[in-house]
Amino acid sequence: MTTETAARDVAVNVLPSLSQIDAAVWDACACPEAADGGRPNDPFTTYRFLKALEDSGSVGPGTGWEPHYLAVEVEGETVAVAPMYAKGHSQGEYIFDHNWAHALESAGGRYYPKMQIAVPFTPATGRRFLTKPGYEALGQSALTQGAVQFASNHELSSLHITFCTEEEAETGEELGLLRRVTQQFHWYNDGYADFDAFLADLSSRKRKNIRKERRTAQDFGGTIRTLTGHDIQPRHWDAFWQFYQDTGSRKWGTPYLTRAFFEAAQETLRDDIALVMCERDGTAVAGALNFIGRDVLYGRYWGCVEDHPCLHFEACYYQAIDFAIAHGLSRVEAGAQGEHKLARGYLPAQVHSLHWLANEGFRDAVARYLEEERRAIDEDIEIMTSFGPFRKDQREEQQ
């Protein structure tokens, strides 16, 4: 599909595989800040991460995530890309629209398949309209128009852009998409020198509780280490695959990622990963997988083969805080849901998404719902922040 913008030819191409675009071309749009050899802001939109999903069979035929990557060319130069997928269900998204599907289908419509601009199985905020510097406005506009046109041409019910940035959400709303606000829990680094400095900002009761939880977890009878880069060995993935299968089968019925994804992670993603391993008597019994951005640590998966009190909190939340402080990261995103994170220093934060719905009547109904939902989310965030674990003076600063 081709459009005219500012007297230049703008072509929006739809690619069924990342193999059809060069890694350097994709990353020039997805993570231009990493051209100096540093970390990307968002490890999940890099070519290597998305290619690992595709090559491992975690997305593709039979998964409900069929790739249709978008690439915008201006006079033959690729200036913007986006990871887009045809979805046959709403699993692995974490911005829940099951009620929308039920409402449309109850009215005689067909909700699936739909289109999704997202990183599969990854509730982490980041740019979804990936543009070269200087092409932000043109790139988002062309990607949005191209995605909507693709969905319309194929008579699909909807297009969803999930976990986009707030700036992208505001621009998308100006382009005619519906903006949705939901919430997660994030930890913020206020320049802490160490974990005790963080604890000093908490109320006395919460501070004592966290110290008690950490002591309990550390007394499980083994060691807890955070590994990254070459310290991660194939045997660690053998263990973590067991953890992941256990958690996945209980939470989702079937794990989203294949075993081959973790083999790909060993080959191409180790430098992006902080892997917490809990070992007792030489055997790994629990672990947590985090991805490292330039300024954010992203908590992704946890699992265990033995239950030990407070080990989940230690491996997932407190080790992540330790890592963020030690490496000067400003934030930890601990994944979807979980109000229990509030007592452990993680505060509610807005999460943004954009939506296009083909049926006008359905779109109007969803728009009204989103207005009410946004008010409720804002109220929840205000209330939870006010009852958070921080001292009163700290809460006033945060508010």
Residues with Cβ within 8 Å of residue 51, at least 6 apart in sequence: 18, 23, 264, 268
Q: What angle do CA 137, 78, 113 make, to 5 degrees?
A: 75
Quick: pLDDT tens for 129-154.
999 999 999 999 999 999 999 999 99
Question: Over the chain, what is the mean pLDDT?
Answer: 94
- Written as one letter, the residue type at 55 is D
pTM exceeds 0.85: yes
Lowest mean pLDDT among 37-51, 89-103, 317-331, 335-349: 335-349
Instruction: Provide the token pair at 126.
Output: 């980041």
Quick: pLDDT tens for 287-322.
999 999 999 999 999 999 999 999 999 999 999 999
Instruction: Provide the token pair at 223.
Output: 């060691």
**Angular region, 163: left φ>0, alpha ψ -120 to 50, beta rest:** left
Q: What is the pLDDT of residue 251?
A: 64
Quick: pLDDT tens for 312-351.
999 999 999 999 999 999 999 998 878 899 999 999 999 9
User: What whole-number distance in Å separates Cα of residue 255 and Cα of residue 252?
Assistant: 7
Q: How many CB atoms lie within 10 A of CB 60?
A: 17
User: What whole-number distance in Å separates Cα of residue 177 and Cα of residue 170?
Assistant: 9
User: What whole-number distance in Å separates Cα of residue 44 and Cα of residue 41?
Assistant: 9
